[in-house]
Amino acid sequence: TEFNTDISGWSYLFSVDVNGFIETVDHMSVFAATTPVKKKRGRPPKQQVPEEGEGPEDAEAEAAKKARRALNRFNGMTVEEVMSRTLPDVIGHNLDILIIGINPGLLSAYKGHHYPNPGNHFWKCLFLSGLTDQQLNYTHDQDLPQKYGIGFTNMVERTTPGSKDLSNKEIREGGKQLLDKLQRYQPRIAAFNGKGIYEIFCKETFGIKAKNLEFGLQPYKIPQTETVCYLMPSSSPRCAQFPRAQDKVHFYIKLKELRDQMKDQVQSADVVETQYSFDLQLAKGTGHMTTNRTPVGSSLHTLKTLFMSVCNNNHPVRRSWNSQGTIRN
């Protein structure tokens, strides 16, 4: 016969024989039995699926599952169908900045827009740097040339799941096509979105194997143009050196400063300063000299003819005219 009793927090199990003698006594702490076990922090280990349970049917089911996910991602289109698409350039003449990528990804080709991946930092950095005055997204890429002077192109036109799927031959050929494009449209700045793109372009275009490249303005111009090259980190979230948007925005700010500086230089060069003199008494005798803007020819002879009656070497006065032939006081 066995019976159990609790004494002072301990549980005793008695075993009694037929004669009434206690044979064994087992005891344990009631408190020990009820004390909670402290759990370890962190995620529980994943359950390993035994490999021997996998068979051809399981592999086929997994492949079918992946295919369904791909179809859902591209609204019923297969990856092969998406790869057959191309992404049109957003480009034109008189651009301030031309953004250059390596080649279209699947989502870009499917959407038909540049940098549509929500994890990509491009559009966020564009706004944080002041290159755009509001937060835009990929659906606005067609508006940027006219509103902000920014365009888009890629070195290689073919769509692939990743840039590693491109062959060296088509990358080199793409570099030649990019050079032709830059010479035709001649933007102020060719901005390379990623170091790898510029390394290849630099070797193919300038015959120089770039080493220890630094981000920012590069020392080379596009041949037969005044287009300068600017290198910035890849806007992809997979960029190991600059994984966050706030790590990259500095280079977009510098890009904006370079653009503003180049535009100011062009505007200043449009106005040419000159110096001439006139006889103040003679001017007073004929009334007064008008300060309205007067159209003149571009030749020096026209200017001499206009002021022939008042010119001498005694009283210098500064005037200027712009390239359209308009006097500016």
CA distance 207 to 223: 12
Q: Which backbone phi and psi does 273 adopt, to 5 degrees?
A: -85, 140
CA distance 110 to 80: 11
**Strand-pair partners of 187:** none
Class of domain 82-268: alpha beta
Where do the domains of the chain lie? 2-32, 82-268, 271-328
More confident residue, 56 or 271: 56
DSSP E strand stretches across the chain: 2-7, 10-16, 22-29, 97-101, 150-154, 189-193, 216-221, 228-232, 271-277, 316-322, 327-328
Q: Which residues are catalytic?
A: 103, 114
pLDDT of residue 225: 97
Q: What is the CA radius of gyration of the chain?
A: 38
Write down the pTM of the prediction.
Answer: 0.63
CA diameter of the chain:
152
pLDDT above 90 as % of the chain: 49
Q: Which pLDDT tens digit goes with each residue over 203-226?
A: 989 988 877 889 999 999 999 999
pLDDT of residue 192: 98
CB atoms within 10 A of CB 327: 18
CA distance 183 to 93: 11
More confident residue, 29 or 86: 86
pLDDT of residue 316: 43
